[in-house]
Amino acid sequence: MHSHLPGPGRRTLVSTYRLQLGPGLTFADAEKVLPYLDTLGVTDLYLSPVLQAAPGSTHGYDVVDHTRISETIGGREGLERLAAAAHTRGMGVVLDVVPNHMAVPTPAWHNRALWSVLKHGPDSPYASWFDVELAEGGGLLMPVLGARVGTVLAAGELVLDHTVVPGDGSAGSGEEQPVLRYYDHLFPVRPETEHLPLAELVGRQHYRLAYWRVADEELNYRRFFDVGSLAGIRVEDEHVFDATHALLLELFHAGVVDGFRIDHPDGLADPRGYLRRLGEATGGAWVAAEKILEEDEELPDDWPVAGTTGYDTAWRLHALQVDPDGGAPLARLMHEVTGEHTTLDDVVEQAKRQIVETSLYAETHLLTTMLADICREDVRLRDHTFRSLQDCVVELVVAFGRYRAYVVPGAAPPPAAERVVREAADVAGSRLDPERHDTLDLVVDLVLGREAGSAGRQDEDRRAELVVRFQQVCGAVMAKGVEDTAYYRWTHLVSLCEVGGAPGRFGVGPDEVHEHARRTAESWPATMTAGSTHDTKRGEDVRSRTGALAAHTDAWTTLVRRLREATTAARPADLDGRTENLLWQTLAGTWTEAGPIEADRLTAYLVKAAREQKAWTTWTAPDETREEGLVRYATDLLTHPDVVAGFTEWVGQVAPTVRRSVLATKLLQLTLPGVADVYQGTEVTGTSLVDPDNRRPVDLEALAATLAALDAGRAPSGLAEEKLALTAAALRVRRTHPGAFVGEDAGYDPLPVTTGRALAFARTDAAGPRVAVVATRLGDAPGLAEATVVLPEPNAGEAWRSVLTGSPVDGGAALLGELLGSWPVALLVAEPAGPAPGGRATADGATA
């Protein structure tokens, strides 16, 4: 049995379809589209978080109650009905789980555990749930005030009130209680303090109401990155794990759900320990971890999971379609538009340093404080000053090249973890005064859990906590500094700036994709592959359209220069160059034969992207005047005659390149090793940008009607329908031949091709070759049709059939032109030789 396949008796997924549940897509709505998903070839539903979330939640990651299924989407009864209907069709159900944090909702009583802690402090039965020290005299920081607390009190905006608080879990639950009210915010009053004068009452609570800007400097609870409304919980404590997972495990053992996707495991104190506990509790269920791997990083082999959620495959497949020859011309254009000459490494360093000094200052300051406490308590370490420790912490965190190392207190650090910490230390050391190097060595030893200072103090609680906290802070700085800042600033080719991506790599070749697939098939055969997710910065087709710039750099450079000149009068004089370059590439990524996307979608994205850049405007200090200028300019572009004419011509010019990229990327994603995921609506082409744009409703009924027409024999009309036909074909082949894709004997064999503009491989099962895939890449190249691929000979009594064209294909050398026909890809299936039975044609070229 492969160590990373599900345990005995547990479901092995073959493909998933991600549904973003919410008020507009409930369990009942999902049940209605099951026939379509079944017809599409999907084997498993993949549901966004289903536990009770904060009021008004649009995504479900802000959980407030682990004991209830969200009433908004149908409650437990609705989930059980959906699951039963899916299981009747042979389909499984996978749930997205959020173990790292809970919401700090408004009003706070929606989170009963948090309300209890706010009211009773250390005496609350939930006191150990949240990652905060609740020592007597302290207070959980609640940074919700619009001004400093003294100003708020003087203005009479904070008042003592009484209200009925439903179900807070304490005595008097459901009865009227005294509360502190600040507009929509309600907070409990500590027992026996309600009769104090207001200012004294405020100071006697188990929480500290504070001006919202205080959070980045003095926040005293762990949060999700820099999101103060999502408070970290200590799921590493067994009783917290049990309480927060009881319902999920009950549903699993009752057969309602079949597997789990784990959100952000890097935020946990002990990811491996959590995943082991989950694996033991489920008997080895299929579990995918949302682990974002850097380019040269491997998933820890001692994690008992099926694999990742697929970003590692997604970026490679896009980069496969990016012409490396376009790197230099696009770099010149970036410099021309932005007026700056810098490198990606410099942009990343500057962005991480800014995050450490601003929104995550509280987290890095806490690390320094912990180190200073350790040094103060050990006479051998007292000469390491707070300032020197702070300098070393900042440089080490900024230099850290991945989300985290995996060091467990009390255990020897794994070699890979020690290597990544010491590599960061080498970089940090080069940026520090030599006088700080001794302190840096000490910090490295302590974050690795090694003995430092006086003997025998290695396993002290404070040192163990430092090991954990350091790793958690590294992940937050990577997420906010790189993905959510640097990747919005670096506009060389924005489609490469993706979650888990490697924008420093301008294109990858077939050999690298083959090697990644080989390693995956060998070590993580049931991992997930993805094209788009709810977290990607832009949808897969937007990436394909944007990536086409690299194959048409002369035309693109000419177009941008011409349109910049034509729109000079409308362009704000203070328009930021990085934002402008992002704007032009976003237009290229979203402009289709139907024209541009809606102005409100484009401008909402641009304002979000500009604030994420954190250069000329930010979330906390928006420059509304300049933002309004950007919005006006972008809106004008959508109807400007020269822009419309220019992009209409551009869309026609790059159409073959885009078509090749869209179809090849999708087919490869659906046939490479792993469980193939389809994010809702991406079975056809789309123009989705970053969230919330990618959570817009999808008309699944219309897609069902289109698929029915294709299955009835109508030829695909346009790229969207071609993508739908291709997706259905691949998913149906996977469902028919699961052993070739995710089983114990599933194999991956690269096939020889005489051109670097194509790659090919066979998927095999215990009996031999079962499926063959050929995908072309980059733009049209002379002689591509005359290139050959060597197909394996099918087993005795079988023959190859092209699923897309319906034609028989012989084993051995085949000309790409003949094999592909009008498609840029080929999907072949080995079937019993002989004439196919008559009947109605289906989207996969078979008959029914």
Average pLDDT, the chain: 94
3-state DSSP assignment of residue 229: strand
Q: How far is the C-alpha of 65 from the C-alpha of 820, rounded, in Å?
A: 53
Evaluate whether residue 8 is within a structural domain. no
Q: Which amino acid is at 315?
A: W
Shared domain for 95 and 122, answered yes or no, is no
Shared domain for 143 and 121, answered yes or no, is yes
134 pLDDT more than 80: no
Q: What is the model's pLDDT at position 845?
A: 44
State pLDDT tens for residues 420-441: 999 999 999 999 999 999 999 9
The domain boundary residue, chosen from 445, 470, 495: 470
All residues at 6 or more sequence positions from 468 whose CB lies less than 8 Å from its CB, including other chains: 269, 270, 409
Spell out a b/e string for 409-448, using b for 16 or more CB atoms within 10 Å of the CB, else e: beeebbeebbebbeebbebbbeebeeebeebbebbbebbb
Count: domains in the chain: 4
All residues at 6 or more sequence positions from 698 whose CB lies less than 8 Å from its CB, including other chains: 680, 681
State pLDDT tens for residues 273-301: 999 999 999 999 999 999 999 999 999 99
The parent domain of residue 418 ranges over: 346-470
The domain boundary residue, chosen from 447, 470, 493: 470
Evaluate whether residue 207 is within a structural domain. yes
Question: Tokens for 410?
Answer: 């009390």
Evaluate whether residue 67 is within a structural domain. yes
The rounded percent of the chain whose pLDDT value lies above 90 is: 90
Q: What is the model's pLDDT at position 684?
A: 98
Q: Which amino acid is at 564?
A: R
Evaluate whether residue 46 is within a structural domain. yes
Q: What is the model's pLDDT at position 641?
A: 98
Q: What is the model's pLDDT at position 217?
A: 86
All residues at 6 or more sequence positions from 584 whose CB lies less than 8 Å from its CB, including other chains: 337, 560, 563
Evaluate whether residue 50 is within a structural domain. yes
Query: If you average pLDDT over residues 99-113, what whole number do you get?
Result: 94
Band of pLDDT at residue 137, cut at 50, 70 and 90: low
Q: What is the CATH number of the domain that holds 283?
A: 3.20.20.80
Q: What is the model's pLDDT at position 2?
A: 67
Evaluate whether residue 396 is within a structural domain. yes
Shared domain for 177 and 279, answered yes or no, is no
458 pLDDT more than 80: no
Query: If you average pLDDT over residues 165-180, what whole number do you get?
Result: 74
Shared domain for 449 and 435, answered yes or no, is yes
Q: How far is the C-alpha of 360 from the C-alpha of 217, rounded, in Å?
A: 8
The domain boundary residue, chosen from 429, 453, 470: 470
Evaluate whether residue 511 is within a structural domain. no
Shared domain for 211 and 240, answered yes or no, is no
Query: If you average pLDDT over residues 258-271, what whole number do you get?
Result: 97
Q: How far is the C-alpha of 616 from the C-alpha of 609, rounded, in Å?
A: 11
All residues at 6 or more sequence positions from 411 whose CB lies less than 8 Å from its CB, including other chains: 449
Q: What is the CATH number of the domain that holds 174?
A: 3.30.1590.10
Shared domain for 126 and 210, answered yes or no, is yes
Where do we find the tokens 């319906």? 806
Phi, psi angles (nearest 5°) of residue 90: 85, 10
- The answer to whether residues 35 and 766 touch, using CB atoms and an 8 Å cutoff, is no
All residues at 6 or more sequence positions from 356 whose CB lies less than 8 Å from its CB, including other chains: 364, 394, 397, 398, 477, 481
DSSP, res 598 = P
Band of pLDDT at residue 841, cut at 50, 70 and 90: very low
165 pLDDT more than 60: yes
466 pLDDT more than 60: yes
State pLDDT tens for residues 187-232: 999 999 999 999 999 999 999 999 999 988 888 888 877 888 899 9
Band of pLDDT at residue 839, cut at 50, 70 and 90: very low
The secondary structure of 496-520, three-state, reads: HCCCCCCCCCCCCCHHHHHHHHHHH
Q: What is the CATH number of the domain that holds 774?
A: 2.60.40.1180
Q: How far is the C-alpha of 662 from the C-alpha of 586, rounded, in Å?
A: 17
Shared domain for 95 and 239, answered yes or no, is yes
Tell me the Cα Rg of the chain: 28
DSSP, res 151 = H
Query: If you average pLDDT over residues 6-32, what whole number do you get?
Result: 97
Pairing status of strand 825-832 against strand 768-776: antiparallel
Band of pLDDT at residue 170, cut at 50, 70 and 90: low
State pLDDT tens for residues 589-643: 999 999 999 999 999 999 999 999 999 999 999 999 999 999 999 999 999 999 9
Q: How far is the C-alpha of 402 from the C-alpha of 416, rounded, in Å?
A: 12
Shared domain for 164 and 192, answered yes or no, is yes
Shared domain for 364 and 456, answered yes or no, is yes
Q: Which of 130-144, 263-277, 815-829 shows the lowest mean pLDDT across its residues? A: 130-144
Q: What is the model's pLDDT at position 842?
A: 44
What do you get for the CA distance between the two ends of the chain, in Å? 36
Q: How far is the C-alpha of 703 from the C-alpha of 253, rounded, in Å?
A: 34
Q: What is the model's pLDDT at position 139?
A: 83
Q: What is the model's pLDDT at position 846?
A: 42
Shared domain for 85 and 115, answered yes or no, is no
Shared domain for 164 and 281, answered yes or no, is no
Shared domain for 112 and 223, answered yes or no, is yes
In residues, how long is the chain?
848
Query: If you average pLDDT over residues 90-115, what whole number do you get?
Result: 96
Phi, psi angles (nearest 5°) of residue 436: -90, -5
What is this structure's pTM? 0.95
1 pLDDT more than 80: no
Evaluate whether residue 781 is within a structural domain. yes
State pLDDT tens for residues 776-793: 999 777 789 999 999 999
666 pLDDT more than 70: yes
